[in-house]
Amino acid sequence: MNEKIKRYFLPEEEIPRFWYNIQAEMPNKPEPILDPKTKKRLTPKDLYPLFARELCEQEFNQTDAWIKIPEPIREMYKYYRSTPLVRAFGLEKALGTPAHIYFKNESVSPMGSHKLNSAIPQAYYCKEEGVTNVTTETGAGQWGASLAYAAKLFGLEAAVYQVRISYEQKPYRKSIMQTFGAQVTPSPSMSTRAGKNILTAHPNHPGSLGTAISEAVELAMTTPNCKYTLGSVLNHVSLHQTVIGLEAEKQMKMAGEYPDIVIACFGGGSNFCGISFPFMRHNIKDNRKTRFIAAEPASCPKLTRGKFRYDFGDEAGYTPLLPMYTLGHNFTPANTHAGGLRYHGAGVIVSQLMKDGLMEAVDIEQTESFDAGTLFARAEGIIPAPESCHAIAATIREALKCKENGEEKVILFNLSGHGLIDMASYDKYFSGDMINYAVSDEEIDRNIANLDKQ
Ligand SMILES: *Cc1c(COP(=O)(O)O)cnc(C)c1O
């Protein structure tokens, strides 16, 4: 085919009409989600008080491989989709590799990351079901910004609890949330019992994602017509993100290629699942041999070094018990610059796929990730989010192997977001002060052993 084409776009009518639900086709279904008290298997109804009903149904759906995308959601996807599939000629040249490198550019979304792909459907289903208010937590603010925008699109009020230290140190995402009319509260706050308890004991508490989740959940449970939303980890979030891979599949066809390797960075798994599952389908059904690589930070390596077991999804232990790869819900990752990857566990579906050997994972130190991100920026003109830098680092490792072996492999990675609001992290890298924080085996073992005591 024509090797000179740089970017591949789909016309609007080619934007997916269905999401792909891998749960229906995986060789082994995920283990059930359990009530922490009774240890009984949960059903969608058990989650109705917290999330929109349709999202609860999607969460547990193991029968329908294709789930229709409601037309109002597609209308909103049209504001930024399709996203371009880009051939990284510049990066290939910089590396001198015979590999063909492609990336799916999710950074072109109005909020700068893939998170909007799920924020839109979550807000839509809430609106359809008569909900008036949505709430969530956010760390660095990518998810909060996406939810704030999606809530505004569908006329919902959004209340976001932002971890206090991020609220103070990363003021621009707070400003973005406010631009879309969201009420942003630094967490811990005096507005909830969970927040009050912590603030009374520790008036200068910097906040944590665990506390912010507790505050958002409490608000949802105590406010009429208010639902909680989450930007990663859950099955329905991964489902919505499959628009990434479904588009990429068509665009790779336009390029006349099929990926040998698919790579994405990994926090809770949503962007990895999004780009991988539509291609993994062909490994499961059509005997394709594509490799899928999740790139996680060495400071928070749940897939490469965590344990597969039941654990809570949050630090406070409010959520159901999830069967997943985890470092333990009390694990506190070092305060690295890839804030969106600092989560102790992996989603339930990916965990099962990992256990079954359908995918791989690598962990990457933060200086290697910024080396990769800077090289990519200079070669392709896009400054990647610190999270996405991990995917780029893993891609470079594979492309250099191709160079060594003279192999012309096709590598596809997901550029989950741009880094234009994260330049403070790049400053730290350029100053030479950035340190690596690989977690020790002892710390992981101690943390997992703690789970058995609880
Ligand atoms: C949130 C975020 C991630 C990590 O979340 P996943 O659910 O693992 O995809 C990665 N990249 C960016 C830009 C993010 O905002």
Encode pLDDT of 273-324 as tens digits: 999 999 999 999 999 999 999 999 999 999 999 999 999 987 777 789 999 9
**Dist. CA 203 → ligand 1 center (Å):** 31
| Separation in Å, CA 390 to CA 116, 246, 353, 396 | 21, 22, 21, 10
Per-residue burial over 31-51, b if 16 or more Cβ lie within 10 Å, else e, is bbbbeeeeeeebebeebeebb
Q: Cα dihedral sign for 202, 204, 210, 216?
A: positive
Question: pLDDT tens digits for 224-271?
Answer: 999 999 999 999 999 999 999 999 999 999 999 999 999 999 999 999
Q: Is the beta carbon of 276 within 6 A of some atom in ligand 1?
A: no
Q: Is the beta carbon of 338 within 6 A of some atom in ligand 1?
A: no
Q: Is the beta carbon of 269 within 6 A of some atom in ligand 1?
A: yes
- CB neighbour class for 75 (10 Å; exposed up to 12, middle 13-18, buried from 19): middle
List all residues 6 or more positions away from 275 whose beta carbon is below 8 Å from its beta carbon. Answer: 104, 241, 244, 245, 248, 262, 264, 412, 413, 414
List all residues 6 or more positions away from 369 whose beta carbon is below 8 Å from its beta carbon. Answer: 297, 338, 386, 389, 390, 392, 393
Nearest CA to ligand 1 atom 2: 340
Per-residue burial over 271-292, b if 16 or more Cβ lie within 10 Å, else e, is bbbbbbbbbbbebeeeeeebbb
Average model confidence (pLDDT) for the chain?
95
pLDDT value of position 29: 97
Q: Is the beta carbon of 417 within 6 A of some atom in ligand 1?
A: yes
Ligand 1: residue of 270, 273, 363, 418 to mutate (most ligand atoms within 8 A of CB) is 270
In whole angstroms, what is the distance from residue 359 CA to residue 351 CA? 10
pLDDT value of position 334: 77
Q: Are strands 133-138 and 100-105 parallel, antiparallel or unpaired?
A: unpaired
Q: Is the beta carbon of 266 within 6 A of some atom in ligand 1?
A: yes
In whole angstroms, what is the distance from residue 221 CA to residue 164 CA? 22
Nearest CA to ligand 1 atom 13: 417
Ligand 1: residue of 83, 105, 113 to mutate (most ligand atoms within 8 A of CB) is 113
Atom of ligand 1 nearest to the CA of 115: 15
Ligand 1: residue of 117, 163, 232 to mutate (most ligand atoms within 8 A of CB) is 232
| Nearest to 268, CA basis, from 212, 162, 340, 319 | 340
Ligand 1: residue of 143, 176, 341 to mutate (most ligand atoms within 8 A of CB) is 341
Q: 433 or 243: which carries more pLDDT confidence?
A: 243
Atom of ligand 1 nearest to the CA of 140: 15
Atom of ligand 1 nearest to the CA of 271: 9
Mean pLDDT over 29-39 rounds to 94
Contact 164, 206 (CB under 8 A): yes
In whole angstroms, what is the distance from residue 345 CA to residue 329 CA? 8
Does residue 82 have a cis bond before it (omega within 30 degrees)? yes
Atom of ligand 1 nearest to the CA of 272: 9
Atom of ligand 1 nearest to the CA of 112: 13
**Residue 314 CA from chain centroid, whole number:** 16
Q: Is the beta carbon of 313 within 6 A of some atom in ligand 1?
A: no
Q: Is the beta carbon of 274 within 6 A of some atom in ligand 1?
A: no
Q: What is the pTM of this model?
A: 0.96
Mean pLDDT over 403-414 rounds to 98
| Separation in Å, CA 374 to CA 263, 265, 425, 427 | 18, 16, 12, 12
pLDDT value of position 357: 98
**Dist. CA 142 → ligand 1 center (Å):** 8
Task: Give Dmax (Cα) for the chain.
Answer: 66
Ligand 1: residue of 265, 272, 348, 376 to mutate (most ligand atoms within 8 A of CB) is 265
pLDDT value of position 207: 86
What's the DSSP call for residue 231? S
Atom of ligand 1 nearest to the CA of 264: 9
Q: Residue 54 region, left (φ>0) first, then alpha (ψ -120 to 50), else beta?
A: alpha
**Dist. CA 219 → ligand 1 center (Å):** 25
SS (H, E, C) 38-99: CCCECCHHHHCCCCCHHHHHHHHCCCCCEEECCHHHHHHHCCCCCCCEEECHHHHHHHCCCC
Question: pLDDT tens digits for 348-362?
Answer: 999 999 999 999 999
List all residues 6 or more positions away from 40 whose beta carbon is below 8 Å from its beta carbon. Answer: 34
Question: pLDDT tens digits for 172-227?
Answer: 999 999 999 999 999 999 999 989 998 999 999 888 887 898 899 999 999 999 99
Question: pLDDT tens digits for 362-399?
Answer: 999 999 999 999 999 999 999 999 999 999 999 999 99
**Dist. CA 347 → ligand 1 center (Å):** 13
CB-hemisphere CA count at 13 Å for 368?
20
Residue 438: is its pLDDT beyond 90?
no
**Dist. CA 144 → ligand 1 center (Å):** 12
In whole angstroms, what is the distance from residue 12 CA to residue 83 CA? 11
CB atoms within 10 A of CB 440: 8
Contact 305, 312 (CB under 8 A): no
Angle among Cα 407, 409, 412 to the nearest 5 degrees reads 150
| Nearest to 245, CA basis, from 13, 21, 3 | 21
**Dist. CA 337 → ligand 1 center (Å):** 13
In whole angstroms, what is the distance from residue 252 CA to residue 100 CA? 11
The token pair that represents 421 in the structure block: 């609001």
pLDDT value of position 48: 96
Q: Is the beta carbon of 416 within 6 A of some atom in ligand 1?
A: yes
Q: Which of 87-101, 318-332, 341-355 has the lowest mean pLDDT?
A: 318-332
- How much of the chain exceeds pLDDT 70, in percent? 99
